[in-house]
Structure 1
Amino acid sequence: MKKKIAAVLLTLSMVVSIAGCGQEAQTGGTQSGGTQSGSSSDSTGAENLPSDGIPVPEGWDDPYEETLTVTIGGLGNPQDMNLPEGDTLEDNEFTRLYKERWNMDVKVEWMAVDEAALSQKVSLAITSGQMPDIMMVPNQVLLSQLVESDLVADLDSAYEIGMSPYNKAVLDTYGDRKFDTCTFDGKLKAISNYVPGYSYAFTWIRKDWLDKLGLEEPGSLEELQAVAKAFVEEDPDGNGQKDTIGLLCDQRVGGLYNSNHTMDPVFGYYGSYPRQWLTDESGNVTYGTIAPETKEALATLRQMYADKLIDEEFAVRNPNDINAPLAAGKCGIIFGPWWAAYTLQDSINNDPDADWQPYLCPLDQNGEFKTYQQEIHTYWAVVRKDFPHPEALMKLQSQLSEWLQPVKDLPEGYAYPYRGTPADGKTIIPLNLQFSEQDYMPKEYAALNEAEEKKDPGILSDVMVPVYEARLKYKEDPVANRDQWSGYMARTGGYEVASMENVRVAENCVFFAMTDSMTARWTSLEKLENEALLAIITGEKDLDYFDEFVSQWKSLGGDQIMQEATEIIKKQG
C-alpha cells in the first residue's frame, strides 16, 4: 500500500520534476542556480520590493501583480504519468490553476525518479551551490547540510505571509512538533509533509479460516499464537498438505511505522518500541531497541519463530516477493496498518472464499493495544536562498492542501473558490507534501459514514468522493465488485480498528531530529541493529547476545547520540 499511496501522490505531484540537473531557468528575472546575491530591494532601489521588482502580495490569497515564474525540483517518475491528451508536466490542470489563482508560472527544472535519485540531486545541489527555486529534500541529513551550506532561505516571514489560515490551523494540531525538524537556530528553514497518526500495525486475519477451524477471534497474545499455530498445522486451505505458513515478517523486524509485516504489535505488547527515541523518567533520551522490554519481546518472537508461527523463510525471502504467500493463499495472518487491505487485494481476487478482517490484537492484561507515535515529517521542501519570493512555496502548498481535505466544511471566512476535480487521477500537483490534521482519520471516517447515511456525498471533498462511491459500489454487490474490496475494507474496518479508544500511544517518543554524531555514525549502527535482531529471532545467536549488542551499540556511538539528543530535548524545554 505504501507504493500505492506513493503512486497516487506521485501522479498528483509530477510538476516536481524534469530531467537534467543544472540547467538554467529564468525565474522572475533571476537564474535558478543560486549564484545571484539576494536583496530586499530591486536594482532600481525601490523600497520594500524584492530583487525582481515584483511586489509581495499583501494577503496570503492575493495573486502577484506581475507573473512570477517558479522552478521546482523534486520526486516523480514519468512512467507513472497518466495525463489527459495535450497536458504536460508544465501545462496541466494544476499549473493552469496556479496561473489563474496566483499569476504564477510553475516550471520544472529536474525530476528524480525515486528517493535515491532525489538524494543524488540534492547532494549535487549542495556540492555545486546551485538549486531550483523550490526543491524537495528526502531526509534530515541532507536538509542539515543544505542549511549548513547556507543555500536555503529563512521562511518565517514567508510562512506568515503566504500560508493559508486553514493550513496554519492544521499544522497547529501538532503542537510543539509542528516545526521540530524544520527549525535551525530558531529559524524556519523548510516546511515538511505531516504524516498523521493511526498508521500503526495491528492484526489482519482470514476469518474464513477461523470459522473453518472452529476458532474464536483472538484478543490476547496467547490467543493470537494459538490461532497462528492452528493455521500452520491444521490445513486451513483444505488441500490436504501442510503447506501454510506463519506470520510474514520484514527482515528489519520492528520499529517500522506505516509498514506491513512489522512485529511492532508483539513488541508493543511488552512496552517495547524499537528504533524509537524515548525519554526516560529523568528526561534523558534513550533508544527503544536497547531497552530491557525489547529483550522480553525478542524472547517471545524467537520462540514463535522456532514454533514456525513466523514465516521460516523470512530472513532469506526476497523483500520484493514478501507478499507472494498471501496471493497464493498460504498465509492467514499479517500485521499491517489500516491500508493493509490493499496488500490483501490479490488474496481476495484469487480466492473467492478469502475473508480478511482487521483486529486490534494483541491486547495486554488491561485490554489495551500499545503502540508509538511516528515521525510525522518524512519529506521537506526548501527555497533557494536568493529567490525573491519564498512565500510562493506557501501559496503552492495552500492550494494543494485545500484540494486534499476530506470534507468541504472549512472554517468560517475561509473563501477558497478553486478546488481540483481531476478525473481518474489524471492530473499533477507541484509538491507532494501532504498536510493532514493529526486526528484526520476519525474525522474522515465519520464524514464517510455521514455521507452514506444521508446519501449526500456533497459534504465530502472531491478527492474523497471516489472513495465514497467505491465504498457504495462494493456494498451493493460484493461478489461482482470484489476488486473494490480493498478500498472498502481499508476505510471501514481498517479505519474503525485504527480509531478504537483502547489504543494507547506511548507519549515518551519525543525525539525525531538528527544529531551531529548520528549523521556520521548512523549507517553502521543501524546495520548492527538489523543484524542483531535478525540473528536473535532466527536462533543464529542466543538471547543473551542482546546484552552484547547493546554494549557494542552504545560504545560505537549510541551513547554519544543519546547524550546529544538529550541536550537538544532539554534545550527545547
Structure 2
Amino acid sequence: MFRLNRLSYYIIFCIIILSLTSCDNSSKEGASEDHNPEHWEVDYIRKVIYQHQGLEKYTSPVQITFVREMNSHIEELLEELPNETLEDNRWTQLYEEVLGIEIKYDWIESGHLYHQKYSVALTSGNLPDVVRVNSQQLRELSNAGLIQDLTTVYEEFATPWTKAVMSQEGDGPFETATLDGKLMGIPEVDSSIEKAQFIWIRTDWLDQLGLDPPETMEDVLSISKAFTEKDPNQSGEDDTYGLAITQHLWDPVMGVAGFMAGFDAFPTIWIENDDGELVFGGIQPEVKTALGALQEMYQDGQLDVEFGFKDGNKVIEQIANGEIGMLYGEQWSSFRVGVSRVDDPSAEWKAFPIVSNSNELAKIPLKYGSHTFLAVRKGYENPEAIIKLINLHLEKNWGGTEDYKNYYSTPHPVWQLSPVTPFPALKNLDAYRLLKVAHQSGSDSGLNPEARSIKFNIDQYVKNNNESGWGWEKTYGPTGAFSILEQYVQNDQLLYDQFVGPPSITMVEMKPIMDNLMHDTYVNIILGTPLYEFDQFVDNWNRMGGEKITEEVNQWYCEWVKDEN
C-alpha cells in the first residue's frame, strides 16, 4: 500500500508552493516587506495548508456535540490550568477560531455514572452528534440505522497529512470500521508497533549472580530459577520471584503474551497456517507447551502463588520491595520498574529482545491498536466537521504549522483537553530515530519538538543525575527499548494479527464468553490443573462458536486477499 510520510507530504506542498511562487513572482519582486525566502516560503506553506477544504472555516458557526468522561488525569490537568475547563479551553477556542466549530458536551460524568449514562444513550438511540464506540457497538448502531456512512466525507475532507498519519497502521483500522463496504466510523488509530513486548531484567541481579542476558527460552527459565533460589537481593531470605505476572494474563506490562511468544505461541491473534487459512492462536498446541512451562515455574515457586489475586499495582509494590527481577512488558515498562530505585538506587533494569525456544528469531505478536471509532449520528447535517477537528488536531501538533508546546505538551498534557486526540502511530519510534541521529552526529538541529522534549528528559538523568529521566533513557536511549524495536523491524520479527475485519455475527454474540473461558482455563492450568484440560478447552471453544467464527473469519480473509490482489 502506498503511504505518505511527513516528508512526502511536504514535498507535495513544496511543488504546490513552487507553482504558486512562479505565478506570483512579479508581485514578490515589487513587494517591499520581507524578501527572506525562508519567511515567505513558510507563509506560503501556511496558506496552502489552510486552503484545503478540510481546514477551511465555516462561513456560519457550526455546533457539534459529544459526551465526555471525567477522570483523575483530566482533573489533575485542569488544576494546573485554572483558566480552562473541558467546555472552554485552548482547544475549543482554536476549533472555533480556525474552523468555526463550536464544541458542546451533552453531559460530562465520571466513572460508573459515565458508563451507565453512556449505555443508556446507546440503547435508547439518544446519541450526541459524535459518539465514541468499540467495533461491536459500531456494528450495532450501523445495523440500527443510527449512524452515517462517512466514506465520501473522509475521502474529500481529510487533508493529505491526516491521510498520511491515519495510514501508518495500514488498512487494518479502516477495514474494521468498514461495514458492508461503507466506512461507518473514523478509527482512533492507536500504535500497534509500540505494543511490542520486551524482556525487562534487573541487570544488577544478573551481575550479582554472574549470569548473561538470555539468548534462548532455556536461558530465560534458568535466569528465573536463579532469581528465585540464589538470593539476588542479598536479603538472606526466600523473598524473590523469577518472573512477575498479574491476574490479567494479557496485561501490557507483567503479562504472559511475550513469554508465550518465546514458544511460538500467539494466543491473542489470528495467524495463517501452512494451508493459507486463518486459525486462532489461542487454541494452537504451542500454547499448551507454554502453559506447561508456566505451570512448572509456578510449582517451583518462581511465580507468586497469589498472582491470580494481584493486579498490576500490587505487583508493582513487589517490584518496589526488591522481590522481582524479570518481567515481560511494552516499551513504557521502564516507568513502572523504576520504583525499585526509590529504596535501592543500585537497582538497574534493561530491556532485552524476546527470545525463542528454537534457533529462529522470535516473532513478536501485535494486535492492531485501534479499538475505538468515532461515529456520526444519523441526521447530523455537518458530518465533515469531525474530519475537520481531526485535521486541525494533527496539524497543530505535528503538521507544517505545529505549535507543539502550546497544544500538546506545555509540559502539561494539554492535548487531552480536545474531544478528539488523533496522533501519528509512529511518532515515538520516529522520535527515537531522530534522537539516534542526534546522538551519532552530536547535533540536535534535526530534532522535532517531541524528540527535543524527550532528549531534555534523558539529559536530566544522564547529565544531571536526576531520577526523573531514568525511565526515558531506558526507553529512548541508545540501548533502550526502542533500539530493540528497531531490530524487530529490521529483522522482520513483527507478527501482526491477520484478522483486521469487523467482528463477525458470531463474534458479537459469543466472543466475550469465549474469551473469559480461555483466560480462566489458562490461569487454572498455570495453578496446577492437569495440562490435558487444554485439549478439553479447545473442544469447548470450537463447540461454543469457535468453528463458526473460524469459518466467518476465513470467508472475510478470502474476500480481503482477493481485493488486495
Common topology (TM > 0.5): yes
Indicate conservation of the 8 Å contact 1:229/1:309, yes or no: yes
Post-superposition CA distance 1:225-249 (Å, at most 9, x none): 1111111111111111111112111
Is the aligned partner of 1:523 residue 2:528? no
Q: Contact 1:404–1:461 (CA<8 Å) still a contact in 2?
A: no
User: Secondary structure of 1:509's match?
Assistant: coil
C-alpha deviations, 1:105-131, integer Å up to 9, x for none? 2122223535x6665444322322221
Match in the other structure for 2:244: 248
Q: Distance in 2 between matches of 1:329 and 1:278?
A: 38
Structure-2 separation of matches of 1:319 and 1:522: 25
Aligned-partner residue type, residue 347 of structure 2: A
Counterpart mapping for 1:409-428 below 5 A: 415-416=400-401, 419=404, 421=406, 422-425=409-412, 427=414, 428=416
Cα deviation for residue 435 of structure 1 reads 3.3
Question: Which residue is 1:160 aligned to?
Answer: 155
Match of 1:469 in 2: 456
Distance 1:355 1:499 in 2: 22
SS of structure 1 residue aligned to 2:195:
coil
- Counterpart residue number, 2:99: 102
Q: CA deviation at 1:79?
A: 2.7
How many residue pairs are counted as aligned between the two chains?
A: 500
Q: Compute the displacement of 1:63 (Å).
A: 0.9
**TM-superposed deviation, 1:557:** 1.4
CA deviations on 1:401-426 (whole Å, 9 max, x unpaired) are 23443xxxx6xxxx536555242316
Given the superposition, is the C-alpha separation of residues 126 and 239 from structure 1 closer, same or farther in structure 2, using an over 3 Å criterion?
Answer: closer
Decide whether the 8 Å contact of 1:70 with 1:105 is kept in 2. yes
Gaps of 5+ in 1: 1-56
Q: Aligned Cα RMSD in Å?
A: 2.4
Matching residue of 1:86:
83
Distance change in 2, residues 1:319/1:344 (3 Å): closer
Equivalent pair of 2:198/2:329 in contact (CA under 8 Å): yes
The percent of aligned pairs where both chains have the same amino acid is 27
Deviation at 1:448, TM superposition (A): 2.3
Match of 1:270 among 251, 263, 274: 263
**Contact kept in structure 2, 1:369 and 1:502, CA below 8 Å:** no
Contact persistence 1:368–1:503 (CA under 8 A): no
SS state at 1:198 partner = helix
Partner residue in 2 for 1:559: 547
The equivalent residue for 1:450 is: 437
Q: Which residue of 2 aligns with 1:145?
A: 140
1 CA distance for matches of 2:67 and 2:447? Answer: 32
Q: State the alpha-carbon separation in 1 of the partners of residues 194 and 357 from structure 2.
A: 19
1:327 matched to 2:327: no
Instruction: Output the amino acid matched with 2:233.
Output: D
- In structure 2, C-alpha distance between the alignment counterparts of 1:335 and 1:347, rounded to whole Å: 16
TM-score (norm 1): 0.82
Q: Secondary structure at the match of 1:340?
A: helix
Q: How far apart in 2 are the matches of 1:547 and 1:95?
A: 55
Post-superposition shift, 1:183? 0.9
1:218 maps to 214
Q: 1:444 to 1:368 in 2, by over 3 A?
A: same
Measured in 2, the distance between the counterparts of 1:517 and 1:119 equals: 25
TM-superposed deviation, 1:364: 4.4
Which residue does 2:341 correspond to in 1?
Answer: 348
Partner AA of 1:163 in structure 2: A
Structure 1 residues 64 and 470: CA distance shift in structure 2, 3 A? same
Measured after TM superposition, the shift of residue 218 of structure 1 is: 1.7
Aligned-partner SS, 2:346: coil
| In structure 1, C-alpha distance between the alignment counterparts of 2:303 and 2:492, rounded to whole Å | 24
SS at match of 1:175: coil
3-state SS of the aligned residue for 1:521? helix
Report if aligned partners of 1:372, 1:509 keep a CA contact under 8 Å in 2.
no
Deviation at 1:516, TM superposition (A): 1.0
- 1:274: Cα distance to partner? 0.4
Read off the aligned partner of 1:313 and give its amino acid letter. Answer: E
- The answer to whether the 8 A contact 1:265-1:362 is kept is no
Measure how far apart 1:452 and its partner are: 5.0
Where structure 2 has 5 or more consecutive residues not aligned to the other structure, the ranges are: 1-50
Q: In structure 2, what is the Cα distance between the partners aligned to 1:453 and 1:506?
A: 30
In structure 2, the CA distance between the partners of 1:484 and 1:507, relative to structure 1 (3 Å rule), is closer
CA distance in 2, matches of 1:163, 1:431: 17
Change (3 A) 1:464 1:393: farther
Partner of 1:136: 132
- Inter-partner Cα distance in structure 2 for 1:284 and 1:202: 29
Counterpart for residue 200 of structure 1: 196
Output the CA distance in 1 between the equivalents of 2:469 and 2:63: 42
Distance in 2 between residues matched to 1:313 and 1:183, nearest whole Å = 43
- How far apart are the structure 2 equivalents of 1:195 and 1:426? 17
Map of 1:483 onto structure 2: 468
What is the DSSP-based 3-state SS (H/G/I as helix, E as strand, rest coil) of the residue aligned with 2:417?
coil
Q: What is the Cα deviation at residue 450 of structure 1?
A: 3.3
